[in-house]
Structure 1
Amino acid sequence: MDMEFEAIDVDLLDSGEQWLIVKELKKHNPDANYPT
């Protein structure tokens, strides 16, 4: 199975970028746990 993905080290992002990533993550994973 071919699948595209993008790995993001959330811990390395600034707080504003982390907030945006978690907001997007919660659309697909309401618990917002890692890794997704």
Structure 2
Amino acid sequence: HAGELEALGGVKPAVLTRSGEPLLSQHSSLETQLFCEQ
């Protein structure tokens, strides 16, 4: 499913697992925030 992840803006599996649902490319700020919390 690598192609699908790239289509979503390079969503990382770690973020998918932590949030419970895929993040959109427009949520890049939220993605960074989640990684900072780790």
TM-score for both structures, normalised by structure 1: 0.37
Q: TM-score, normalised by structure 2?
A: 0.35
Structure with greater proportional helix content: 2
